[in-house]
Amino acid sequence: MKVMTEGLLAAGEVERIGLEFIKGTYYRGTVTISQTTLVTEGAFPVYHLEGSIKIPSRNPLGRLISQDSPYTFKMQVHALEGSILGYELR
């Protein structure tokens, strides 16, 4: 299978797009991307991003009692356009 690389966004650019989106949605969270994978199967190439986000409690008492809740996220970014195709937070 021939991998099309012409016109693809660089992995670093895709990570920046993903970070901007997650930080814009969960603005108080601390975001870390742990894995970026390019998948070229299907109609168009897609980057799959995986990482974690720590979101502080909005309740002042909750911040004293417990630590920030860590969540994991998965995101798909169009490798040519840079648009967010979908994401999941767990």
Beta pairing partners, 73: 51, 89
Q: What is the pTM of this model?
A: 0.80
- Which residues 6+ apart lie within 8 Å of 69 measured at CB? 54, 55, 57
HSE-up (13 A, CA, CB side) for residue 85? 16
CATH of span 11-89: 3.10.450
What ranges do the domains of the chain cover? 11-89
pLDDT tens for 60-71 read 665 566 666 689
Question: Is the C-alpha dihedral spanning 33, 37, 43, 44 positive or negative?
Answer: positive
| Residues 23-57 pLDDT 10s | 998 888 889 999 999 998 888 999 999 999 988 77
